[in-house]
Amino acid sequence: MAFDRAKRAFLDMVYPRNCVGCGISSPETFRFICWDCWSDAAKVEPPFCGLCGDPVAGAVDHGFICFSCSAKKPAFDGARSAARYEGVVGEALRQLKYEKAIWLAPDLAEILRHCLMAEYPGQTFDLIVPVPLYHVRRRARGYNQSAVLAQELAKRIGCQTIPSMLRRIRPTATQTNLTAPMRLSNVHNAFQSRREKWLAGRRVLLVDDVMTTGATVNACAKALKQGGAMSVHVLTVARG
């Protein structure tokens, strides 16, 4: 432990750390996110839908299910996100995804861990599965940011992760500029579960970086349950 602290202090001296949000040196709350920036982050807090976790404006003093989930129950059993996709969280995720900033993954995984403890108290999971990239996109990027986050989270909670459990079987357009109906169509039947003997009867935690309409994680959850998963809960760093 003392050696680890000394090693970290030496590395901080040689390679000074800066907060990804404000540029202040040597954050203490996380490795690359300072306390002020994290305090200013827009956390996802109640009231929100008891199923998909989508926040609503106004005062709601009871549990509720949103219109979308009431109209058509999602394939997943619950979805929760730590913060909005803005501020320091949005910037950290953007750099992780597009600028190969893998060193930000431990901080983001710690945010996931806190969200997991707060939103799924008492629940246990047998397996962590990341949302997969299509193999062409993964090869071009060099890694799958969701798999990196899943691996970091798995180390923190002592849970197994199998990145190959789910695969994207066809290329899909980026969801960024699509409407909700277009997003659903874009990912329809785009995922397939694998290694189903490992999946049968398992309680799965599905991890992704950002959830917006929930179309992608819903399609993933559907494939996992078709493969035999007993339950699928979703956990993402941010909500778009």
What is the per-residue pLDDT across 110-120, written as a single tens digit (0 to 9) for each?
Answer: 999 999 999 99
- What does the DSSP assignment read for 52-121? T--B-SS---S----HHHHHS--SSSEEEEEEESSHHHHHHHHHHHHS--GGGHHHHHHHHHHHHHHHST
Burial class of residue 76 in the structure, from the number of CB atoms within 10 Å of its CB (0-12 exposed, 13-18 middle, 19+ buried): buried
Question: Higher pLDDT residue, 63 or 174?
Answer: 63
Under a CB-based contact definition with an 8 Å cutoff, are residues 207 and 81 in contact? no
Under a CB-based contact definition with an 8 Å cutoff, are residues 161 and 128 in contact? yes
| 128-to-5, 64, 206, 227 alpha-carbon distances in Å | 30, 27, 6, 15
Please say if the pLDDT value at position 49 is more than 70: yes
pLDDT band at 57 (very low <50, low <70, confident <90, very high): confident
For position 123, what pLDDT does the model report?
Answer: 93
- 178-204 mean pLDDT: 81
pLDDT 10s digits, 30-42? 999 999 999 999 9
- Tokens coding 195: 């290694």
Kindly report which listed range (10-14, 94-98, 104-108) carries the lowest average pLDDT score.
Answer: 10-14
Q: What's the CATH fold of domain 43-239?
A: Rossmann fold (3.40.50)
pLDDT 10s digits, 132-172? 999 898 999 999 999 999 999 999 999 999 999 999 988 77
| 210-to-35, 147, 202 alpha-carbon distances in Å | 22, 13, 24
Give the residue extent of every domain in the chain. Answer: 1-40, 43-239
What's the mean pLDDT when you consider all of the chain?
89
Please say if the pLDDT value at position 9 is more than 60: no
2-16, 44-58, 197-211: range with highest mean pLDDT: 197-211
- The 3-state DSSP class for residue 163 equals helix
Task: Determine how β-strand 191-193 pairs with β-strand 166-168.
Answer: antiparallel
Tokens 């357009």 belong to 173
For position 14, what pLDDT does the model report?
Answer: 47
For the chain, report the end-to-end CA distance as a whole number of angstroms: 38
What is the distance between the alpha carbons of residues 1 and 23, in angstroms, rounded to a whole number?
Answer: 28
What is the distance between the alpha carbons of residues 205 and 224, in angstroms, rounded to a whole number?
Answer: 11
Question: Higher pLDDT residue, 86 or 189?
Answer: 86
Kindly report which listed range (5-14, 80-89, 204-213, 221-230) carries the lowest average pLDDT score.
Answer: 5-14
Please say if the pLDDT value at position 13 is more than 70: no
- Tokens coding 129: 């599965």
